[in-house]
Each structure stands twice: as C-alpha cells, then as structure tokens.
Amino acid sequence: MRRFVVVGLGNFGFTVAQTLADKGHDVIALDTQGTLVDRISAYVSRAAVGDATDIDTLRRIGAHEADAAIISTGSDITSSILASMAMHDLEVKDLYVKVISNDHARVIQRIGVTEIVFPERDSAIGLATRITGSALLNYVSLGRGFSIQEMAVPSVWHGKSIRELSLRQEYNVSIVALHDVLTDTIHPNPDPNHPLKDSDTLLVAGSDEALSRAAKLK
C-alpha cells in the first residue's frame, strides 16, 4: 500500500482520490472548500480543509510522508505552482500536476514534476485520432509523434498469427498486448503463434504515422 496526497477535489481530483482509495491505497485529500472535503471524506483515509501552498499544513496532514502527490487546483494556476513547490520542499518523490493551458504546463515543467496531466487537450487529441481511424478504439500519447493505441483486428488479419503478419517489419508497429474481448482477458507479450480473431483487440505501439496506416486496414 502506498500513500498519496491529492490536492484539489473538483471532478478530476475527486475521481483520482476515490480510485486510488478503491485500489487499497492510503489517500490524503486536501481542498480549501469544506463541501468538497465532506464529499470525499467517506472514501479516503483522511480528508482535510487547508491550503496546499502552506508547508505547515502539508506536514500536519502527513503529506511529507507521501509516496506521490497529485495536484489538481482547477483554474487557480498560482495555487498549482506554489503547491508544487511546497511538495518539492517536502521532498515528495513523485508529483503529478493537472494543467489547464500550455503556459501553465511550461511553468510546471520548469519546476520539475514527474508528469503533467492535460485532460482537455489529451481527450481532444484522442477523440480526433479515434474518429479518423476506422479500427482505432483508444489512443494514449507517449510524446510528440509516438503513441500506444488499441485497435480492432482488421478483417484481413483474421486467422493469421502475429508471427505471420510480421507487423514490425511490414507496418513498423509493435504489439504490446492482446485483449480477448469475449473473456475480457489481457495477454501482455502475446504468443506470436496465436491466430487473431475478430473478438480480439491489439494494443500496439509506434509512430503516429505508422499506427494510422495500420488503423486504416479493413
């Protein structure tokens, strides 16, 4: 079990805190609004009203002992920046910060965090990518021009094995995992001799250009 501190309990922060708690982790939730704190209190180990930019407050709730912090302070960019700096001062190892604009992201990057989360942008990119790729189901960007995508198995691949298709050589993509939709089973590093079925989906990694070509197959 790990300890997480979640700062900012709007919809994003609430969902993160609740999900982490549901997975059995020790979650400390903090917000300046009592109504939001009351809403999450039944789900987490500890919920408190307080200012995440104040180091004494963070120490009091145990943030200095957290394995990671998630900061989601909505449109209050100043609070987001100062809370991130306070977490650094407390030497919290991993820091995940939700940002609302490119300028916000640039400032947070200069502070230095484990990961910047930009839900609106990432959702928009994922949607645009999915609706322009006929076989594409999910999309996760891993950096400029590179991603992991879940795609339905094109009909021309049905009955053929992963080895037979030579996807790395023919399409310059790699299969990360296979999802058997009928049994809802994920197979990491699937057997290369496994014949693909129409009830399978593939988690594939590669350049956006290569994945786009693969997703257009019928």
Give residue limits of the domains in the chain.
3-117, 122-215
pLDDT of residue 116: 87
Q: Which CATH architecture has domain 122-215?
A: 2-Layer Sandwich (3.30)
pLDDT at 140 over 70: no
pLDDT of residue 209: 82
**54 in the Ramachandran plot: left (φ > 0), alpha (ψ -120 to 50) or beta?**
beta
pLDDT of residue 124: 64
In the structure, what pLDDT confidence band is assigned to residue 137 with cuts at 50, 70 and 90? Answer: low
**Choice between 90 and 216, residue whose per-residue pLDDT is larger:** 90
pLDDT of residue 152: 80
In the structure, what pLDDT confidence band is assigned to residue 132 with cuts at 50, 70 and 90? Answer: low
* Least trusted range by pLDDT, from 2-11, 97-106, 123-132, 154-163: 123-132
Q: What is the CATH number of domain 3-117?
A: 3.40.50.720
Could you count the other beta carbons within 10 Å of the beta carbon of residue 100? 18
pLDDT of residue 122: 65
In the structure, what pLDDT confidence band is assigned to residue 167 with cuts at 50, 70 and 90? Answer: confident
Model pLDDT for residues 49-89, shown as the tens digit of each residue: 999 999 999 999 999 999 999 999 988 899 999 999 999 99
pLDDT of residue 147: 77
Strands (E), 24-159: 26-31, 46-49, 68-71, 94-98, 115-117, 136-141, 146-152
**Choice between 84 and 197, residue whose per-residue pLDDT is larger:** 84
Q: CA separation (Å) from 39 to 10, 43, 104, 131, 186?
A: 10, 9, 28, 36, 34
- For a pLDDT cut of 70, what percent of the chain falls above it? 88
